[in-house]
Structure 1
């Protein structure tokens, strides 16, 4: 069994490698060569934490395993730790033996950012110039770095429940040489692409905050009850997701489906766009929305690359188990 500690992850995986792994596994899901297992995600009644398991099997990539972890909202203020904590376990699909244990915190941030940037590549207008950010926490910085690589953005605008956190994303924009402006939510009408990355249980971005032609990546809703955008916005949009079953049960689409504004059949896996079996955006006026619920296969795909590279470089810790 190999162990790849959290401290090694930054030197073993890049945004580019994460993007390629996630794009490939989305395509494999759409072609039924990979599938996710049912998600377990529960409030444990301690520290206000959400804890769960996400797993799956990719026949093409040979990845089998799960990610265990969740969200501890008081970690940063109480302990100086990031609020999201997770570990990935990989198994040999031929024997069932455990193959590797991989630190999952940075990996989760990279694979989540990769998913939204994959959606921008395949669904945003080619001439998108203004990048909008709803949310400015730890994960938002990863989201913005990855997104800025997908189009020639000329401006970043941002909003956050706590405005004092906006410098987090302003710094990323400035590092990329792109000017930043803080806006109220109606100001998001200027954006050509919007990423929402909050942990909200009530919508902030409303349908009238979004202009025709915008692409949205809703990345924060991954639990029953969470909601970042008004359900009416999904009714205006072409809705895509990582996995339909998760989208309609724990993702942003749960609210639009429950209220009858859209049907489950209106939600399309983005892998079908990647594979070319769905046209995706067909007009510059289309509003496209990616409901990024976060699937276990994303974690397994990136973790598999991490382990292979760690073994190749001789930095993986090998133990008898």
Structure 2
């Protein structure tokens, strides 16, 4: 079995590699070549959450599980609040093949999924990127989105505005003008990425203009909510996996209010695989409900293992 430490991930898996791995597994899901197992998630109290996401990719010959969660007290310990590890197994024998540090991989695969949605669903002439949320993950989201469209400026809002300057520094690195704005100015954006951990909606229907693409990346648990349900009723809704979208994703709220039905949600993998249409008009609002599926983690972890083996940085152990 190979061990790929967290410390090696940055040098192994580029954002481009994560984009390719996630796009390929989304298409495999659409073709029935890969599927996720049910998510297990537990609230541990005091804001702590822990769970397991797992699946099987027959095409990629990968089976595994990501174990991890959110521990808000970690900031005081000098370590990331999000902690995760990916375990890979041979799908034929069940033999463990790898253990991979999952913290950076989680950030990369989440940003890749949003960027894929922007690439496939945003208008080709999108020039203004809106960011709702300014935490650690938002920095990855901004960089990834900027790789797939030639944005001319970035506008951003965060519940804690004192966090926005760090996001502005990332925009400056990318050569993009940056402005902190109130939410009602999100109407200026052609693409919006929401990446918050809020239990209540912040982005409202009135904040989104016709023709905008919205990537909702923060809701992955029952009770979380980033956008007003009415926005989903107004948009064409896409997701990574419909089963998660309607139970733990952003769509859970619109479904509960009877504003949309499960049949109204399109897996983005079907767009990638050429099985369904993406954007159909310049004025259409498209929305991607990025719930974060286990197969994303397995895809980027598999890429990390292959590269680590090639470069000789994986540690081999016998169990």
Q: Which string of whole-angstrom CA distances, capped at 9 and with x for unpartnered residues, describes residues 38-94 of structure 1?
A: 00011023x421100000001111110000001112211x21211110000000112
Question: Which residue of structure 2 lines up, in the alignment, with residue 263 of structure 1?
Answer: 261
Partner of 1:54: 53
Aligned match of 1:69: 68
- For residues 270-294 of structure 1, what are the alpha-carbon distances to aligned partners after superposition, in whole Å with 9 as ceiling and x for unaligned? 0011111111110000000000000
CA distance in structure 1 between the aligned counterparts of 2:169 and 2:62, rounded to whole angstroms = 36
Q: Deviations over 1:104-141 (max 9, x none)?
A: 00000000000000001100000000000000000000
> What is the aligned partner in structure 1 of residue 7 from structure 2?
7
1:201 and 1:229 map into 2 onto residues whose CA distance is 10
For residues 10 and 305 of structure 1, the distance between their equivalents in structure 2, rounded to whole angstroms, comes to 12
- Specify the SS of the correspondent of 2:172: helix
2:243 matched residue in structure 1: 245
Task: Give the structure 2 partner of residue 139 of structure 1.
Answer: 137
CA distance in structure 1 between the partners assigned to 2:72 and 2:138 by the alignment? 16
C-alpha distance in 2, partners of 1:74/1:254?
28
| Structure 1 position 315, deviation (Å) | 0.7
Which residues in structure 2 correspond to 1:200-239 (within 5 Å)? 200-239=198-237
- The match for 1:18 is 18
CA distance in 2, matches of 1:191, 1:160: 15
**Structure 1: segments with no counterpart, 5+ residues:** none
* Equivalent residue number for residue 123 of structure 1: 121
Q: TM-score, normalised by structure 1?
A: 0.99
Separation in 2 of the partners of 1:101 and 1:196? Answer: 31
Deviation of 1:168 after TM superposition, in Å, equals 1.7
Aligned to 1:39: 39
Aligned equivalents of 2:203, 2:264: Cα separation in 1 = 21
SS in 1 for 2:72: coil
**Which runs of at least 4 in structure 1 moved beyond 2 Å after TM superposition?**
none
1:238-317 aligned at under 5 Å gives the runs 238-317=236-315
Partner in structure 1 of residue 166 of structure 2: 168
Structural RMSD (CA): 0.6
